[in-house]
Every structure is written in C-alpha cells, then in structure tokens.
Amino acid sequence: MNFEKLLSIPHKRFNPLLSEWVLVSPHRTRRPWLGKMEKVPAAPAVTYDPNCYLCPGNKRANGKQTPQYVETYTFDNDYPALLPEAEPLQHEQHGLLVGQAERGICRVLCFSPRHDLTVPRMSLRELRGVIDAWADQFSALAHNSWIRHIQIFENRGELMGASNPHPHCQIWATASLPNLPARENESFRYYRAEKHSCLLCDYLHLELQRNERVVCQNEAFAVVVPFWAVWPFETLVLSKRHIGSLNQLSGEECDLLGDILRRITIRYDNLFETAFPYSMGFHQSPTDGESHEAWHLHAHFFPPLLRSATVRKFMVGYELLGSPQRDLTPEAAAQRLVAAGETHYLDRAAGQSQP
Ligand code: H2U
Ligand code: ZN
C-alpha cells in the first residue's frame, strides 16, 4: 500500500462494482486550460410558473391535467420510453443481430408543488415526503411479477438534459436488469461467494477507517468520493446497514437519508456557487423474486462540473475509445467537498442557520 504515490503519479484504479479500471493522472492538474466556458443557466426564481407542465393545476404537454397537489405527485410518463405491454419479439441472426422485446413502466415524480424548490433547499420534512414516495413507488412497482428492476433517478439541470427545472425524478421499472445494475449484481454475488461478506459493507468500513474520501456522514448513511470515481466530484451514498432497498429503511433511517441528501447537495451547490447539475439514482436489489442477500442499497451522484459553474468534464477521446480518465484525484475532490460546508451559499448572506 503506497498511498502517497496514488496522489502524485499516473496510475489506474479498479472499480469493484463494475469490474473495470479508471486512469488517474494527478500530475496533469497543472496543465493550462483553454477549453469551453459555458453560460450558467439562471435558477428559476418563481414558485409557480404558468407554463410549467409539472406545476399544480397546469395542463401537461399532451393536454392532461396536473392536479392541485400539495406534497409529492407521481404520474405515468406521458412520453414513456417503455410500455407495459410489448408484442413478443426475438430477433437473432448469427449471434450478431440480436433483438428482444422489452417491457416497462415509466413514471415521473414531482418532489414538491414549488417550481423552485430543489433538493438542497427542501426542509427535512419535505425530503421525508419524497423518500416515502420513492419507497412506496418501489414497493408498488415491485408488486408486478414481471418487473425485475426499478431505477429511480434525477437529472438536475439543463447540462444533464433535464427537460424542466421543476424538481422531479423519473422511475423506470423494467422486465429485465439494465447493463450497469446487472454488472453490479454479478460483483456483489462474486464478492460474497469469495469473501463471505458484503462488498459495500467492507468498502464502507475501509473508507470510514481511512477517512481519505469521506465527505459527510450520519448514523445511517455515509457519502464518499469512491476510490474509483470517474466524474470529478462523483459520490457514492452508502447505507450503513446492510439492506437492499429503500422500502427496508426504518422511519428514522428515512429521515437520515433526507438529512444526508440535503447535506451532500448543499455541498455540491456551494462548490461553485451554482445550482450544481447532476444525474443521481438509487441502485436497489433486483425485484425478480430472488433473495439477493448480497445486494447493498446505495445511490450514485454523477455531476459533470470540473472547474467552475461553467467548465465541465467531457467524456470524449480516450474515454470513448479506451478507459475513463481523471486528473483531479478522488482524495482532492473529497477535500473540496468537505471544505464546501453545509450552509447553503444563498443562505449565507442572509445569516440563516440550518433547520
Ligand atoms: P427529465 O427532466 O429527466 O427529462 O424528466 C421529465 C420527464 O417528464 C420526461 O421523461 C416527462 C418527459 O417525458 N413529461 C411528461 O410525462 N409530461 C409532460 O407534460 C412533460 C414531460
Ligand atoms: Zn413547475
């Protein structure tokens, strides 16, 4: 173990969840930057936007009515990527042209009636409502015998392709395991068979012991910049208890999940004093009727920003053709997130304290 060298010389790091490598080039952080400067999209200041499809009482794009909801609101996506009914389809030629039918249920979940209320700005009570809605949706969708995987994810910000600033997430429930959860599933099972313990329980234990990449934690959750992070400020939210899904959390743990999500998203916003864009999502155990004891509930945050509110990392060149690569070390990224603090920058001037 030669930790100092990891901070200074080019090397590769192994991602045990996906069984792949990422290149780390710490010496390159000194090179000059002549890249793109993007304009920062202004945050929406209005609590209600008459033109927003997701604000209470408004008509959606296809003419359907969004009700006067007061907490969260979940509806079937009007433009779903998958449909619950699919005609049988098996296409195979020479093992090279292979196609299969896929079925799914796609939903949208609005976090709040307020158009401007993003996760870091929500109260703990409001966040608890969102977490309860996630757990309820997971349970309800898992009830369908043909649903084998449920992906809850949020795209925040135009930079990540969010189509609407109104805080919301999507839920895609599918008849088969998507690529990345399938690889994680293999890794969890393999690790358990080899070591007779859980990959992420052991990883969390190491991270808490070493304290090199821990950003924040409470009694039930910890946030780390994973050793194998690809995106500059990527984080992993780990439950401290070995459970597989959100609907296994106790009431107290749901509150603590709200606390940790609020704290990490405040840190993100503070980092470049902007509404920090990201894709985040929970990886929960497959719902195919198997027990999946090896699976450990976690969430990934994948934010694209690198140097400022306007300079992002692109996955291009070597990353598309070879392996992902990063310059800023995960350790340095964790330090930056620790230093970013947990009082939202918009509250600092007003001198407000956290609830
Ligand atoms: P994103 O912002 O992550 O793209 O999610 C918004 C989803 O909301 C998107 O999948 C759906 C889009 O299909 N949507 C509706 O179902 N109805 C609408 O009126 C607008 C958007
Ligand atoms: Zn709205």
Predicted confidence at residue 111, as pLDDT, reads 98
Predicted confidence at residue 86, as pLDDT, reads 86
E-only strand ranges, 284-326: 298-302, 325-326
Three-state SS at 53 = coil
Determine contact, residues 55/48, Cβ cutoff 8 Å. Answer: yes
Could you say which ligand is closest to the alpha carbon of residue 76?
1
Question: Taking the CA of residue 131 as centre, how many other CA atoms within 13 Å lie in the half-sphere pointing to its CB?
Answer: 27
| Single pTM value for the model | 0.95
Residue 70 Cα to ligand 1 middle (Å) = 19
The residues annotated as belonging to the active site are 168
H helix runs in the chain, sequence order: 3-6, 124-142, 179-195, 199-210, 251-272, 318-321, 330-339, 345-348
CA-closest candidate to residue 189, choices 17, 318, 65, 1: 17
Low-confidence residues of the chain: pLDDT under 70: 1, 29-44, 350-355
Give the number of the atom of ligand 1 that is nearest the alpha carbon of residue 153: 3
Could you say which ligand is closest to the alpha carbon of residue 160?
1
Which of the following CATH numbers is that of domain 48-350: 3.30.428.10, 3.40.50.300, 3.10.20.340, 3.40.50.920? 3.30.428.10
> Order of strands across the sheet with 325-326?
11-15, 20-24, 325-326
Q: Which residue among 163, 171, 302 is best mutated to probe the pocket of ligand 1, counting the most ligand atoms within 8 A of its Cβ?
A: 163
Give the number of the atom of ligand 1 that is nearest the alpha carbon of residue 79: 13
Determine contact, residues 42/51, Cβ cutoff 8 Å. Answer: no
Could you say which ligand is closest to the alpha carbon of residue 55?
2
Predicted confidence at residue 159, as pLDDT, reads 83
Gyration radius of the chain over CA positions? 21
Nearest CA to ligand 1 atom 3: 162
Predicted confidence at residue 247, as pLDDT, reads 98
Residue 65 Cα to ligand 1 middle (Å) = 14
Residue 213 Cα to ligand 1 middle (Å) = 35
Taking CA atoms, 65 is separated from 46, 49, 68, 167, 196, in Å, by 21, 15, 9, 18, 52
Q: Which residue among 106, 108, 160 is best mutated to probe the pocket of ligand 1, counting the most ligand atoms within 8 A of its Cβ?
A: 108
List residues near ligand 1 (CB under 6 A).
53, 60-61, 77-79, 108, 155, 162-164, 170
Please state the domain extents for the chain. Answer: 48-350
Count of beta carbons in the 10 Å neighbourhood of residue 227:
22
Percentage of the chain surpassing pLDDT 90? 85
